[in-house]
Amino acid sequence: MRHFLYDSPNVHYQPCTTCVEVPRPSRTCSVSRRELRPNELFYSVVSGDCERYIRKDIAADHWTAPPKDCVGWWKSTVKHIRESDVPEDAETPQSLFARLLTQPGEPDTLYIVTLLLLRRKQLRYERELTDEQGNRLLEVYSPETNTLYQIPIALPDQDRLEEIQCQLSALKK
């Protein structure tokens, strides 16, 4: 449950001065009863009185307007994919990293995956260096394989970064 105070500038609400518990999204449209898909827009409505609040999630294509009796509503996006939504044979960040090491051609993807694994502490930063040709490299260590890797620092442009983000969002955690 999330605690929610109804004086946030990002939420449309009727005046209320109490702190209430709002359940997490149900992932199901309360109008059509169908499951909400990843990245789908939906609206959440909180109704009730100070003793009991009810949350309803409504897919954007079924949204008309907030009910008159609601105390708050907001628009959101289904952000996380549940593990059960990811196929068993889906690639993991670690397997993508290993594959990109052996298949040159996507240095920007390799660099971004390396940063992801550094953030998750699955790789350890060692140093930044420059090779004989003047290319900047990121040296990282994998405790799992006991190996040092030198990864080209290849910053993608905005369009390419969006492609890489889509690719990473499909990975199994």
Question: Among 80, 114, 135, where does a domain finish?
Answer: 80
Three-class secondary structure of residue 56 per DSSP: strand
What are the pLDDT digits (tens) for 82-96? 555 545 556 788 888
Q: Whole-model pTM above 0.75?
A: no
68 and 128 both lie in a single domain: no
pLDDT for residue 2:
42
Whether 161 has a pLDDT exceeding 70, the answer reads: yes
**Domain ranges, residue 71:** 2-80
87: in domain: no
20 and 53 both lie in a single domain: yes
Instruction: Locate the DSSP E strands across the chain.
Output: 2-5, 12-13, 19-22, 41-49, 52-59, 70-77, 124-130, 136-142, 147-152
Q: Phi, psi at residue 102, to the nearest 5°?
A: -95, -15
Half-sphere exposure of 166 (CA within 13 A, CB side): 6
88: in domain: no
108: exposed, middle or buried (C-beta count within 10 Å: 0-12, 13-18, 19+)? Answer: middle
97 and 36 both lie in a single domain: no
Q: What is the mean pLDDT of residues 121-128?
A: 93
* Cβ atoms 78, 95 nearer than 8 A: no
Q: What is the dihedral of CA 62, 63, 66, 69, to 10 degrees?
A: 0
12: in domain: yes
Q: What is the count of structural domains for the chain?
A: 2
Q: How far apart are the first and last CA of the chain?
A: 23
Give me the amino acid identity at 73. W
59: in domain: yes
